[in-house]
Amino acid sequence: MTYTIKEIFYTLQGEGIRVGRPAVFCRFAGCNLWSGAERDRKRATCKFCDTDFIGTDGVNGGKYQDALSIATVVNSLWPTHAEHKYVVLTGGEPLLQVNSDLVKALHDFDFEVAVETNGTITVPSGIDWVTVSPKSLETWIHREGSELKLIFPQPNISPSQAEKSDFSHYLIQPMDGQNLFKNTEAAIKYCQQHPLWRLSLQTHKMINIR
């Protein structure tokens, strides 16, 4: 299988329960809810994506012919002799490409494997940490995992609808854009009124890292 990778880089996790944790991010090209082109945004299922996942022009991006090649690059970015290896498979929608071969190859290098998905595809077995960020009830299939990260507010799914699922952690993340301040205030208020939910902020943008 050929994998199409936008970029692979070492950073800190910027969102969710594991915010601040060192991680190698492996971003896959392509998504099934938006083409990534601005001309298609208005008619896409996900209209508010803030990530460039088109092509292979990022750092360590390219066409990888096998899972071992990806795992080798991921491993090369981890600090020498450091433990607690952690890789985040993201996109776009990574589960369009991620398979058991890749998960095994990363495990063979002793990485804990996380995935960030929109929940439209069933997660393959073996992944250690599953973050689901659904964009509509109609397309949301995988409804269990480690954390549910709901962008808020959005028209196609509400927190009360989203909590009818099976996750260890429930997070609300204010939608970025021109209404970020207003959305953040609303998210704070919602979390205060509904303690099941915790606030997730995009801290990587605040401290200016990738």
Q: What residues are labeled active site?
A: 25, 31, 46, 49-51, 116, 204
Helix (H, G, I), strand (E, B) or coil at 94: helix
Q: Number of helices (H) and strands (E), helices first, in the chain?
A: 5, 9
Is the alpha carbon torsion for 73, 209, 16, 95 positive or negative?
A: negative
Contacts of 120 (CB under 8 A, 6+ apart): 32, 33, 93, 95, 139, 140, 141, 142
DSSP state, residue 175? P
Helix (H) or strand (E) holding 87: strand 86-90
| Residue 65 one-letter amino acid | Q
Q: Which two tokens stand for residue 187?
A: 């998210």
Name the CA dihedral angle for 81, 82, 85, 91, rounded to a multiple of 10 degrees.
Answer: -100
- In terms of Cβ atoms closer than 10 Å to its own Cβ (0-12, 13-18, 19+), residue 68 is middle
